[in-house]
Amino acid sequence: MTAYGIDIPAQGDVYLIRHGATTWSKEGRHTGRTDLPLDEDGIKAAMSLETRLAPINFRHVFTSPLQRAYKTCELAGYAAEAVVSDDLLEWDYGDYEGLTKDEIHKTDPGWDVYDRGAKGGESVEEVLMRCRNFLKQIQDLEKPVAIFSHSHFLRSFATVYIDEDIKLAQKIQLDTAKVSVLAKSSLGNVIVSWNA
């Protein structure tokens, strides 16, 4: 959707906003609990979110405590009203923290976090529990709600929101500083827009 020459995310109830780029995100490294800052491109992209999100009157804003998500929230103009929630932390990758998928596959062929969780980190069920817990926290809140978080968590949360198997998250890409929109509809909870 475009208004006044500005790309505005589609209308919905829950806005999933992935943090801006970091050095590890650009290298495809699994960045769970390592608290990396945004890089220069990540800062610029996060700042651009302020204009894109300004037309939306968020009733509630939540952010992961990790600096890459919190700083994105701040640069987008929402830090003053944001509630920090540990439920929005990225997946704990345990032994696979900082590794690329190719590096992981050298010792664990065919591994995917949505199938087996992370060795020495969180299981699939533990992440699903966090997603369900957070969904319960926001389900009765006035909408729209903004969530600043991380790729694997947000993709997992989207599958919980639309009541699909978490393995669907393997098939939906979510780039840095992108916005995805979820909403209730006559068909149930749906994805309105993704990775915009």
**Which residues participate in catalysis according to the annotation?**
19, 90
Residue pair 32/79 in contact by the 8 Å Cβ criterion: no
| Cβ neighbours, 10 Å, residue 7 | 12
What phi and psi, each to the nearest 5 degrees, are found at residue 39?
-90, -175
Residues 172 and 152: beta-carbon distance below 8 Å: no
Beta strands in the chain (DSSP E): 2-3, 6-7, 14-18, 60-63, 83-84, 145-149, 179-185, 188-193
Q: How many helices (H) and strands (E) does the chain have?
A: 7, 8
| Burial of 17 (C-beta count, 10 Å sphere; 0-12/13-18/19+) | buried
Beta-carbon count within 10 A of 51 CB: 14
What is d(CA 38, CA 88) in angstroms, rounded to the nearest whole number? 17
